[in-house]
Amino acid sequence: AELKKASKRLTCHKRYKIQKKIREHHRKVRKEAKKRGRKKPKKDPGVPSAAPFREELLREAEQRKQRLEELKQKQKLNRQKEHEKKRKLEAKKNAAKIKEKAEGKESSGKSKAKPNKPLDKNSKKSFCRELEKVIEASDVVLEVLDARDPMGCRCPQLEQAVTCSGGGKKLLLVLNKIDLVPKENLEKWLNYLKKEFPTVAFKSATLMKDKTMELPTRRRRRVDLSRTSECFGSKCLLKLLQEHGKTQNKAIQVGVVGFPNVGKSSIINSLKGGRACNVGLARGVTKSMQIVHIDKQTKMLDSPSIIADPSNNALALALRSIIDTEESGSADVLEGVDAILNHSSKQQVMMHYNIPDFRNTEEFLTLLAQRRGMLKKGGVPDIENVSKLLLCDWTGAKISYHSQPPESHRLPPYLTEDKIAEMQECFKLKNLEEENTTTVQALKHPSPASSIIFQSAGMTNGTIEENKVIEEASEWENMETSKEEEEEEEEDFTESDDDQDNVEEEEKDVKEVISSTLAPALVSLTHAFLFSESELSNSLSFSLDKTADEDDAYDFNTDYV
């Protein structure tokens, strides 16, 4: 039997008692207010309708009001950011203390001699070491490119390392996510890329849909991981690799490399026909080299992502960086979102997200947060989480955007005609073109109008050699060593309070200026009825010159004497 909810009905005695207490409280509040005395706010007379230059005065007052509101809003946002920084610092300090205590207990039980720590799996050096292993062990290297921005997914350091390594090592380009770009744009990119390396058009099978792509359903269905959605281009790629294996007369190893979220592990899963490698929306899911047997003659080597060089522009770091958005700071994420918006069509972005016109990135994120209901306490837009969600949309398989290939084809300095001929050797290029056309024809592509026009920033520099990696110090070490930075941040907090005082001082100045400037203007109006027009013009010119010199205007929110 189902339990019924408890009734909210009260006895009359209890209800009347509550009402009596409320009446007494209100009476007490009124009595205290009476003792203090209530000052009635002075009514603002405004600007008389007969006043000369009335519209200009009103306009100036409105502009001043808007400036003050914008300044207050900026101060508020800065204070919120500083408070968030302070909270994070305190949390890190507490975590560091806890860790120190735990380490002290462990060291007391053990001997004083400490062995050298092994490399952390999440460290950049570990990623580079695993990537070097994959490149060295591979006979064929597949560089996976996102079809929405193929040039931005190319790494010149990787291509140079493979082409100059010798030993008959081949490099193939795999153009993944071809279902997210218009058909004409895809054909242009295939024609452009095939002039340098053999290029395969591919659409990997998704084992599980992205959370952002799933439609809300009332009942949760069990997902069968053994079944995959349809894959395009897998037969063409397998055939190409098997033909190369026959020419070598041995089993070949194929390394799959590329920047984060281009679909390296998804391609291996598609070729295998099952879930052999872990995939996900987060960047850097694959931590180490993983061997997957496709058949007797072919082994696939899954690798960690290429690390984007810090010298790249903001757009490349936002889309190709290996650092997860959850761990990176809000300033980096905001800079990345700003770069994406600057390199894409504003009108199409507005249509896609269904938001009105915006002036800057902060306004865009505020509108998007309000649109999606991502608000903090007090209705403040959650800009940080909205910007992270936007980055996930652009790196994941949610948004359809496309970039145009360069008009003039220029070979990179590490590529020559001989190198290109060497890379294309042992591959049947005519058959490859035919297979690519059938793959393109079989897929449904978005229309050019629904796909956002994107301006690519060119090739992205990557770090492949372990020695060249500049490993960032851990957060805990930074907390222990950087005490000066904390002091500077505390000074910033005091500065934010000073800014608030400046706003209050400015408001006081406005009141004083209004009292000194508007009084003569109103006096001049009374003179208009007593004196001639010439005297009126002289008095008005005097009052207006005074307001121009002091560069202030009437504010309706303030009282004047």
Widest CA span in the chain: 112
- CA gap 383, 376 in Å, rounded: 9
* HSE-CB for 250 with a 13 A CA cutoff: 7
* Class at the top of the CATH hierarchy for domain 124-206+228-311+404-445+457-463: alpha beta
Q: Quick one: DSSP state of residue 178?
A: G
Taking residue 239's Cβ as centre, other Cβ atoms within 10 Å add up to 14
Strand 401-402 and strand 452-453: the pairing is parallel
- CA gap 268, 413 in Å, rounded: 31
- CA gap 264, 258 in Å, rounded: 7
- The helix or strand, by DSSP H or E, that contains position 482, with its residue range, turns out to be none
pLDDT < 50: residue spans in the chain = 111-117, 208-228, 325, 471-498, 503, 510-554, 556-561
Place of tokens 């649109």: 371
- CA gap 135, 165 in Å, rounded: 10
Are 159 and 144 a contacting pair, CB within 8 Å? no
Per-domain residue ranges for the chain? 124-206+228-311+404-445+457-463, 314-395
Sign of CA dihedral 92, 95, 97, 102: negative
Extract the tokens encoding 548.
């121009």
Extract the tokens encoding 454.
């994107």
Q: Which residues of 487-507 are buried (b: 16+ CB within 10 A; e: fewer)?
A: eeeeeeeeebeeeeeeeeeee
Q: CA distances (Å), 376 to each of 66, 361, 382, in order?
A: 25, 19, 6
Taking residue 151's Cβ as centre, other Cβ atoms within 10 Å add up to 18
Are 387 and 365 a contacting pair, CB within 8 Å? yes
Angle at 327 between CA 360 and CA 458, to 5 degrees: 55
User: What is the pLDDT at residue 523?
Assistant: 42
* Class at the top of the CATH hierarchy for domain 314-395: mainly alpha
Partners of 542 in beta bridges:
none
- CA gap 343, 145 in Å, rounded: 19
In sequence order, which residues have a C-beta less than 8 Å from that of residue 241 and are 6 or more positions away?
Answer: 140, 252, 254, 298
User: Is residue 326 classed as helix, strand or coil in its secondary structure?
Assistant: coil
- CA gap 543, 47 in Å, rounded: 15
User: What is the pLDDT at residue 328?
Assistant: 53
Extract the tokens encoding 429.
């290029």
- CA gap 34, 27 in Å, rounded: 11
- The model's pLDDT over 74-88, given as tens digits with 9 standing for 90+, comes to 999 999 999 999 988
Angle at 112 between CA 107 and CA 117, to 5 degrees: 75
- The model's pLDDT over 150-179, given as tens digits with 9 standing for 90+, comes to 998 999 888 888 888 877 888 889 998 898
What residue type is 277 in one-letter code? C
